[in-house]
Structure 1
Amino acid sequence: MSDAIETEYLVLRKVPFGEGDLIVNGITPGQGKVAFLIYHALDSGKRRFPHFDLFRCLQVRYAPGKNELQKCQDSDLLEDFSGVSADYGNFQAACWLARFALDNVLPGVPHEHFFRASCNACRALAARALPPAAILSGACLVYLYEAGWLSDYQDSPQTVQQCQRLIDMAMGEAEAPALTERNWQDIFAWCKGLLLQSDCAVPQD
């Protein structure tokens, strides 16, 4: 138990495996992408680790092994963002964010800021607090900032200031600027362009 890792975990994908088992993929702040094999997760009787469901933030404990799939020792539900499914557009945005995170966050590489921004994004999508393009733009900028790539594209003090405001928004430290839906769509398109220039895997809309 001394080698066990205890961490927050955002569930971003789950796939049935075998007879009643489940493969779960998600991200953590300090360990990057982590995948779990949950035995008997889909059995009709008492489930093991019933908290493992899409768009939930959990507290998990596991002893890292050599295999890609880890075995969870314990889990507790911290926050449920499954309300994203109440609106189709917001659910699509959450799925876009999930694909982006799983394609670009590497195992063993910390992404503390992006993890926080992803949780905030899921929370905002579940609450329908902002247009999906605004929420995704903020999360993308946080990823670029944490990876050290954003400074390559900040060509003026005004751009630096604008990017910082969107990063603060994504981290829950500032209110979103009052922009139109079309403005947010343009900003999101610009963010996706920056991601492509940085050789990130960008999901198709």
Structure 2
Amino acid sequence: MPRTSCIILRKTPFQETGLILACLSPDFGRIDLICRGVRKFGKRSFPVVSLFREISFDFREPKTASGLVSLRAPEPILSHDDLAGEPSAFLAACSLAAFLLRNSRPMVSLPDTFRALSRMLTRTAEMRTATPWLSYVKLVFLCENGLVSVPPDRQNFLDSVTEFAVGIREEPPLFPAGSRERFVRWIEDMAERCSVS
């Protein structure tokens, strides 16, 4: 039985006590998990299952790419619960989650996007602001899917941003005055043009 990790991006009630979790996994891209008995108290409750939490779990691979996967033996890895302390950052994270779920596909690995999402959610919670951190996740997603083309003289700067987002570089890139806002707008415009409706 394979084991992977994921970040929970959406929770949907299912039947009386279940949940369907829409998640992003580094190995399997978008993965939809079914959890029975989650919303009741008792032995089978899953307190680790909450929005923007990173968990590891066992599962059986679905027979079809769009099938639901049963969650087994979830274990917490990282919690981004601090996002809830800043409503604007939490809402921005929800908007990013919707973008990723709308545009990612099952069984298409997204290791860079996953790493960037985990790092930038942590950064957003620490800095108590979503700008520009969550936009960097969109940039990594677009780059990982081959949707970004820039002139050769700009490629080094673009690489420095994506390397920071995925954790290759520790320090954020330096921007001349006023250019960070333009860069974030450029990312958001590009993400909107490339987004599935």
> Which secondary structure does the structure 1 equivalent of 2:131 belong to?
helix
Partner in structure 2 of residue 145 of structure 1: 143
Alpha-carbon distance change, 144 to 58 in structure 1, aligned in 2, over 3 angstroms: same
- Matches of 2:177 and 2:151 in 1, distance apart? 25
> Which secondary structure does the structure 2 equivalent of 1:84 belong to?
helix
The CA deviation at 1:27 is 0.8
Is 2:25–2:111's contact at 8 Å kept on the other side of the alignment?
yes
Alpha-carbon distance change, 78 to 66 in structure 1, aligned in 2, over 3 angstroms: same
Amino acid corresponding to residue 158 of structure 2 in structure 1: C
- Matches of 2:178 and 2:55 in 1, distance apart? 35
> Which secondary structure does the structure 1 equivalent of 2:132 belong to?
helix
The CA deviation at 1:119 is 0.7
Amino acid corresponding to residue 195 of structure 2 in structure 1: C
> Which secondary structure does the structure 1 equivalent of 2:47 belong to?
coil
- Matches of 2:2 and 2:48 in 1, distance apart? 18
> Which secondary structure does the structure 2 equivalent of 1:44 belong to?
coil
1:171 matched to 2:166: yes
Partner in structure 2 of residue 123 of structure 1: 122
Matched pairs, number: 194
Q: Write out per-residue CA displacement over residues 97-144 of structure 1, whole angstroms, 9 at most, x where no aligned residue.
A: 211111111001011111111111111112127x42211221122112
> Which secondary structure does the structure 1 equivalent of 2:95 belong to?
helix
Identity score, percent: 25
Partner in structure 2 of residue 132 of structure 1: 130
Root-mean-square deviation over aligned CA pairs: 2.1
Task: Please identify, of 118-127 and 175-184, the stretch whose mean Cα deviation from structure 2 is larger.
Answer: 175-184
- Matches of 1:13 and 1:124 in 2, distance apart? 20
- Matches of 2:163 and 2:120 in 1, distance apart? 12
- Matches of 2:23 and 2:177 in 1, distance apart? 30
Task: Please identify, of 32-41 and 133-142, the stretch whose mean Cα deviation from structure 2 is larger.
Answer: 133-142
The CA deviation at 1:88 is 1.2
Partner in structure 1 of residue 81 of structure 2: 82
Partner in structure 1 of residue 90 of structure 2: 91
Is 1:138–1:170's contact at 8 Å kept on the other side of the alignment?
yes
1:94-113 mapped onto 2 (5 Å cutoff):
94-113=93-112
The CA deviation at 1:178 is 4.4
Q: Write out per-residue CA displacement over residues 73-114 of structure 1, whole angstroms, 9 at most, x where no aligned residue.
A: 211000101111111121122112211111111001011111
Gaps of 5+ in 1: none
Partner in structure 2 of residue 162 of structure 1: 157
Gaps of 5+ in 2: none
Task: Please identify, of 32-41 and 58-67, the stretch whose mean Cα deviation from structure 2 is larger.
Answer: 58-67
Is 1:49–1:74's contact at 8 Å kept on the other side of the alignment?
no
- Matches of 1:188 and 1:161 in 2, distance apart? 17
Alpha-carbon distance change, 45 to 31 in structure 1, aligned in 2, over 3 angstroms: same
